[in-house]
Amino acid sequence: MGGRNGKKLHKWRINFHRPFLKSDNNKKEPPQEFICPISNSLMFDPVVVSSGQTFERLSVQVCKDLEVTPTLPDGSNPDFSNVIPNLALRSTIQNWCSESGFEHTNPPEYSEVESIVSSSMGFCLMNRDNSSLRLSERELINGVAETPPVLFCHAASELNRRNFYSSSSSEESVIANATPRLPFANRPSCFSASSSPSTSSEFIVSDEVSSNNSATSEDENFANKMKSSDVFEQEQAVILLRKITRTNEEARVSLCTERLLFALKQLLISRYTALQTNAAAALVNISLAKVNKIKIVRAGIIPLLIDILKNGFQESQEHATGAIFSLALEDENRTAIGVLGALPPLLHALRSGHGTTRTDAAMALCHLTLVQSNRAKIIKLGAVGTLLGLLKDPAVAARVVVVVVNIAACAEGRSALLDANAVECLVGMLRIGNESGSGSTRENCVAALYSLSRGSLRFNGLARDARMAEVLQEVVESGSGHAREKARRILLTLRERDEEEEGRDDEEVDWEAVMVGGVNRVRRRVERSHGRNSTMF
């Protein structure tokens, strides 16, 4: 296989389908994302590698020591050059073990992982330094395709924006903390079933490519053409893929295979505008099928979408944002998307993007902040003030207020919002909502204020400064059911706290009298005010 001092790691296809855990029938099996693809065991110290996948740290170290780069089921090869601790996933695994009664994971043994990797390579560990490889091993090495490096050029302004897309036609409610939210689309704004492909020039789909529709292994035909050395053939294939998956729901499911996703990944990193843009748009279409969402995230596509948001072509950024929004609709994807670093570029797109990019970024954040770990990341990024500032922007305010409601669901979020003067911002937005009759915006503003009012000693003073009572009274008189009830509760809380403060003011000690006449004199005065048996002082 070559010495350890070689500059290049050999690539070996490793069997990823070994039985990994046994448990009682009464116990749940661990979710697949908790299992290391190399050791096939519950991860103890998960790490995210440069290519976006997650492995057990020791498995990565063993592969480096053995100079092995495994080939994943989708045909890709992970990049082990850098590893980042996945603390969120580690905590999630530990919590799952506690809740499900599963035995907590122990650190894996180096020898065990080494044995698994060695046996998967098809030869004994003791012979790994033998320079004379069997013929089958040479064929295996030669048969594994090299993975091209990820290359991007910064061309965010090279492509003129096209208005090929319209808003979604189907909607659903975003619900967090049992509070009704705005009726929002469950499809990205960049998607429209009636739109036509966007490319940098006009393309004609050849009969040869079109004939793939009737092929038995359609995904293989698409993948082969998208891997072609002919850029024009790649373009024709990805345009046709985008066209088919736009309206054909069955095609979205049947074509979402490891082979096709791997081919799409190669186009997402392309420096050709048409390839990158249409690949991102096709991915949006494929992601609309619920059964595909987890599969796409596990294929390692999120890091590529994040790179497009940072460095991709402008129209590609629209579709990349839409794809992240679509994938964030799935509960199981939200933590992973946050861990992989999607929040900062989404916040930047929300603040500085254009059109549908801003809309889909806002919607992605609405769903991602339903997870506490992502709320904590938003707060640590110092983005609370930015979000409150965006409440004044009518283009995204209705969606941003949902993000604010989600952040207000946790104690640290409430504290950060109060520090950033959220009460005044929300009351101002609520005042506009009362005047314009925007029921959904008004309901979400009241929901955010209701969360902020819980257990906060500062809330009453901030509410008085913002003259919130008169605005809430309007909601009580003319608002919807949920908004009216929450407004009434806030007013009741304010009144009770005001009465408590007035009671404390009446019983305040006159410290000047204490200095002059002593405590007994003050006590006699308090007794005359409250009765001799009063215990208020």
Q: Give the separation between CA 95 and CA 91, rounded to whole angstroms.
A: 6
Higher-pLDDT residue of 391 and 132 is 391
Percentage of the chain exceeding pLDDT 70: 69
In the predicted model, what is the mean pLDDT of the chain?
A: 75
Which band of pLDDT confidence, cut at 50, 70 and 90, is reported for residue 115?
Answer: confident
Which band of pLDDT confidence, cut at 50, 70 and 90, is reported for residue 214?
Answer: very low
- Supply φ then ψ for residue 239, to 5 degrees: -65, -45
Taken as a whole, the chain contains a residue count of: 537
Which band of pLDDT confidence, cut at 50, 70 and 90, is reported for residue 431?
Answer: confident
Higher-pLDDT residue of 168 and 375 is 375
Provide the pLDDT for residue 510. 55
Q: What is the largest CA-CA distance in the chain?
A: 105
Q: Which of 10-19, 307-316, 453-462 has the highest mean pLDDT?
A: 307-316
Provide the pLDDT for residue 173. 30
Q: Give the separation between CA 487 and CA 472, rounded to whole angstroms.
A: 6
Query: Which among 328, 312, 229, 230 has a CA at the least distance from the CA of 278?
Result: 312
Q: What is the pTM of this model?
A: 0.61
By CB atoms closer than 10 A (0-12, 13-18, 19+), residue 501 is: exposed
Query: Which residue is associated with the tokens 């930015």?
Result: 386
DSSP 66-131: TTEEEEPTTS-----S-EEE-HHHHHHHHHHHHHHTPPPP-PPPHHHHHHHHHHHHTS-GGGTT-S
Query: Which among 352, 353, 402 has a CA at the least distance from the CA of 378?
Result: 402
- Pairing label, strands 46-49, 171-173: unpaired
Provide the pLDDT for residue 160. 34
Provide the pLDDT for residue 532. 42
Mean pLDDT in residue range 480-498: 82
Least confident of 89-103, 109-123, 442-456, 466-480: 109-123
- Pairing label, strands 54-56, 46-49: antiparallel
Report residue 301 as tokens.
Answer: 């596509």
Instruction: Report the SS3 class of residue 454.
Output: coil
Higher-pLDDT residue of 3 and 160 is 3
Q: Give the separation between CA 252 and CA 264, rounded to whole angstroms.
A: 14
Least confident of 61-65, 238-242, 402-406: 61-65
Report residue 359 as tokens.
Answer: 């809309």
Contact predicate 487/495, CB 8 Å: no
Write b or e for each residue in 167-177: b if 16 or more Cβ atoms lie within 10 A of its Cβ, otherwise e.
Answer: ebeeeeebebe
Percentage of the chain exceeding pLDDT 90: 39
Q: Give the separation between CA 239 and CA 502, rounded to whole angstroms.
A: 71
Residue 251: HSE in the Cβ half-sphere, 13 Å Cα cutoff? 19
Residue 102 has pLDDT above 70, yes or no: yes
Least confident of 203-212, 374-383, 394-403: 203-212
Report residue 456 as tokens.
Answer: 């906060």
- Pairing label, strands 10-13, 68-71: parallel
Provide the pLDDT for residue 513. 54
Least confident of 57-61, 212-216, 249-253: 212-216
Number of neighbours of residue 49 by Cβ within 10 angstroms: 19
Contact predicate 114/128, CB 8 Å: no
Mean pLDDT in residue range 457-470: 86
Contact predicate 36/59, CB 8 Å: yes
Residue 270 has pLDDT above 50, yes or no: yes
Q: CA-CA-CA-CA torsion for 276, 278, 283, 288, nearest 10 degrees? A: 150
Q: Give the separation between CA 218 and CA 142, rounded to whole angstroms.
A: 26
Helices (H), 314-383: 314-328, 331-339, 343-352, 355-368, 372-380
Contact predicate 447/403, CB 8 Å: no
Which band of pLDDT confidence, cut at 50, 70 and 90, is reported for residue 32?
Answer: confident
Residue 248 has pLDDT above 70, yes or no: yes
Provide the pLDDT for residue 75. 73
Least confident of 9-18, 279-288, 320-329, 484-493: 9-18
Higher-pLDDT residue of 493 and 8 is 493
All residues at 6 or more sequence positions from 89 whose CB lies less than 8 Å from its CB, including other chains: 33, 34, 43, 46, 54, 335, 336, 339
